[in-house]
Amino acid sequence: MTVESVAAWIVVGCFATTGFLALLRALKGPTVLDRIIASDVFLITVVMVLVLDMIVHKHDNSIALMIAIAATGALATITVARFVRKRPEESAGSEINWSQTPRESGEGE
């Protein structure tokens, strides 16, 4: 094994860990913003894996796919940011107690 192949395997391990942790955060949440940031991190990790593949195998076949993935991530982030901006009370991660009416919680007075 050469130094380059050992370094590539170490980087693959780091990318695998990053991808797993990003998917875990995307699944557990707790807010929409956490999930969208985790999906951005995961998409960036996928792009970086494609870059590593291009470096190791000395080709440039993945450039169009990388651009498509990056554009999808950017558009998704912009879309969610615009959606969250319109509903600030839910974006801050505050818990809404749906079991109480405004009179029971003292908010309507």
pTM comes to 0.72
Dihedral, CA of residue 98, residue 102, residue 105 and residue 107, to nearest 10: 130
- For tokens 């990388």, the residue is 66
Residue 95 within a domain: no
Residue 43 within a domain: yes
Task: Note the pLDDT of residue 84.
Answer: 81
Task: Note the pLDDT of residue 59.
Answer: 93
Q: How far apart are alpha carbons 15 and 66 in whole angstroms?
A: 16
- Provide the number of structural domains found in the chain: 1
Residue 65 has pLDDT above 80, yes or no: yes
Residue 74 within a domain: yes
Average pLDDT over residues 44-53: 94
